[in-house]
Amino acid sequence: MSKKSKEKALTSQQEDFSAWYNEIVLRAELADHSPVRGCMVIRPYGYRLWELMRDELDRRFRETGHQNAYFPLLIPQSFLSREAQHIEGFAKEAAIVTHTRLRATDDGGLEPDPASKLEEPLIIRPTSETVIYEMFSKWVQSYRDLPILMNQWANVVRWEMRTRLFLRTAEFLWQEGHTAHATEAEAEEETRRMLGVYRSFMEEWMAMPVVTGPKSESEKFPGALRTYTTEALMRDDKALQAGTSHNLGQNFSRQFELTFQSEEGSEEYAWNTSWGVSTRLVGGLVMTHGDDRGLVLPPRLAPIQVVFVPIGRTDEQREMVLGRIRELTDRLSAGIRIHVDDRDNLTPGAKFYEWEMKGVPVRIEIGPKDLEKGQLVLVERVPAEEAERKEFLDQQEAIAGLEDRLERIQARLLEQARVRREESTTRGGVASVAELGRIVEERGGFVYTGWCGSDECEARVKEETRATLRVLPDEEFRSADAPTRCLCGEASETEVVWAKAY
């Protein structure tokens, strides 16, 4: 019995992925557009998602010895200009504070008071390397003060031309880790360690598989020696840079006189790293798992893991059903995030659609018939097999098994995402730029090829195919028999991954 939907249906992913994404973010109440162009309001449901990500990442940062701190939003303009590449990277998208007062205009409006003009403009941080290393230089004297392992949760502003909710907004929330070390080897180890933290978080919590490895010279962070990335593949077969970890070398310590006296007594520049993930991860989560019904959330990050929908014709029935639900949920471990949808102005069907759209992993229906039989109806957001969509289960057993079920769902989502990525990955036999272009155009996904290592070659491929060099994959991701030739015909130096990217 196909029911005509009164709600406008979601645009399907196949019809227009971009429209699908925008609609789902708004309709699932993750975020909304702000009055200021390019900025977003993160709504409670979306913010809870971010908080759950944040809490787990924060736990992992502490576990690896890092401490949280907070550095100011405003940065002296002169700081940014100290590191040449760094300024080049951020100058084009800066928000600048020039005045400290407003005054009334004749026509009843407001304008910056010229008398309050700052001698030196302040930049709203696009990232905090400069202030942080300035401060580190005050705090560090000897090798005994190292390493410094610090992190901050903050907002940053980058005045983007073109924005999209979560994926690229003018202001976003993130974490930026900043460390200082006595040796290059230690800094490199730290850079790698945090890349690993990101990777395992993304896989274990977001159920989002990633390919890790260094970026090419042209794609690295401005001011870094080396940038490592975690690259994920979205359901529209475009790549998303989900997190980055940078070995900054001594670039910043030289500019900010971040020096220390070594064990041997010599004065040395410290070695720095920085690493970050942002609210962009929420966008990545949406585009990794979402389908034409809406969001699909992995249980570990779902604000609501299990939603109960009571069903009853009469007030009396509803009371009894709700009573039963209370009995059952009292017995649940406090670790499970549940919600009982007892609204009486919606039919059960309407609730089903709503919670599916919001990506809740498990729905449990209980009605009068179930009370008699001691059973309940359980539906997973993404069932293992379509055939068993509605499961009729013993109440006690179902409740007792919820925790395990959520873990199984978590694992399955990662597995499914992995399968999708592999199906969208092309390895071997891509021998020309034209062929790469064709694959990227027609099929999308990750394309592995050989690379001679030259910037010019990379730029040419980018120009001709619209694909970018996403990552020089770490060994475990490389092909069994790596290509021996670059697309240009020269000998391949390393295997690389190309894709159209967000």
Partner RNA sequence: CGGGGCGUAGCGCAGCCCGGUUAGCGCGCCUGCUUUGGGAGCAGGAGGUCCCCGGUUCGAAUCCGGGCGCCCCGACCA
Residues that bind RNA (CB under 7 A): 1, 3, 5-9, 18-19, 22, 33, 36-38, 89, 92-93, 158, 160-164, 167-170, 172, 221, 241-242, 244, 276, 278-280, 293, 311-315, 318, 344-350, 352-354, 356-357, 365-370, 376-377, 379, 389-390, 466, 501-502
N-terminal to C-terminal alpha carbon distance within the chain: 40
| Bridge partners, residue 502, by sequence | none
In the complex, the smallest distance separating the C-beta of residue 264 from RNA, rounded to whole angstroms, is 37
The set of residues, in sequence order, having a beta carbon less than 8 Å from that of 169 and lying 6+ positions away, is: 38, 39, 40, 160, 163, 279
Nearest to 136 by CA among 146, 127, 122: 146
The answer to whether residues 288 and 417 touch, using CB atoms and an 8 Å cutoff, is yes
The answer to whether residues 151 and 132 touch, using CB atoms and an 8 Å cutoff, is no
* Nearest-5° Cα angle at 185, 183 to 189: 120
Q: Give the rounded distance of the alpha carbon of 496 from its chain centre.
A: 23
Q: Cβ closer to RNA: 187 or 239?
A: 239
CA distance 217 to 224: 9
Tokens of 496: 């690389």
In the complex, the smallest distance separating the C-beta of residue 149 from RNA, rounded to whole angstroms, is 21
Q: Cβ closer to RNA: 393 or 431?
A: 393
The DSSP symbol for 324 reads H
| The one-letter amino acid at 133 | Y
In the complex, the smallest distance separating the C-beta of residue 322 from RNA, rounded to whole angstroms, is 12
Nearest to 442 by CA among 450, 434, 432: 434
Q: Which residues of 12-45 are buried (b: 16+ CB within 10 A; e: fewer)?
A: ebeeebeebbebbbebbebbebeeeebebebeeb
In the complex, the smallest distance separating the C-beta of residue 334 from RNA, rounded to whole angstroms, is 26
Q: Cβ closer to RNA: 170 or 182?
A: 170
In the complex, the smallest distance separating the C-beta of residue 213 from RNA, rounded to whole angstroms, is 15
Q: Cβ closer to RNA: 89 or 147?
A: 89
Find where tokens 């940078």 sit.
246
In the complex, the smallest distance separating the C-beta of residue 356 from RNA, rounded to whole angstroms, is 5
Q: Cβ closer to RNA: 152 or 262?
A: 152
* Nearest-5° Cα angle at 336, 417 to 206: 20
Q: Kindly tell me the burial class for residue 60, based on how many C-beta atoms sit within 10 Å of its own C-beta (0-12, 13-18, 19 or more).
A: middle
In the complex, the smallest distance separating the C-beta of residue 152 from RNA, rounded to whole angstroms, is 16
In the complex, the smallest distance separating the C-beta of residue 324 from RNA, rounded to whole angstroms, is 11
In the complex, the smallest distance separating the C-beta of residue 75 from RNA, rounded to whole angstroms, is 17
In the complex, the smallest distance separating the C-beta of residue 341 from RNA, rounded to whole angstroms, is 11
Q: Cβ closer to RNA: 36 or 115?
A: 36
Q: Cβ closer to RNA: 158 or 405?
A: 158
In the complex, the smallest distance separating the C-beta of residue 172 from RNA, rounded to whole angstroms, is 4
H runs (alpha helix) in 91-183: 129-139
Q: Cβ closer to RNA: 137 or 272?
A: 272
**Which SS3 state, helix, strand or coil, does residue 32 take?**
strand
Q: Cβ closer to RNA: 146 or 234?
A: 234
CA distance 159 to 79: 18
Q: Cβ closer to RNA: 241 or 424?
A: 241
CA distance 199 to 210: 7
Q: Cβ closer to RNA: 273 or 278?
A: 278
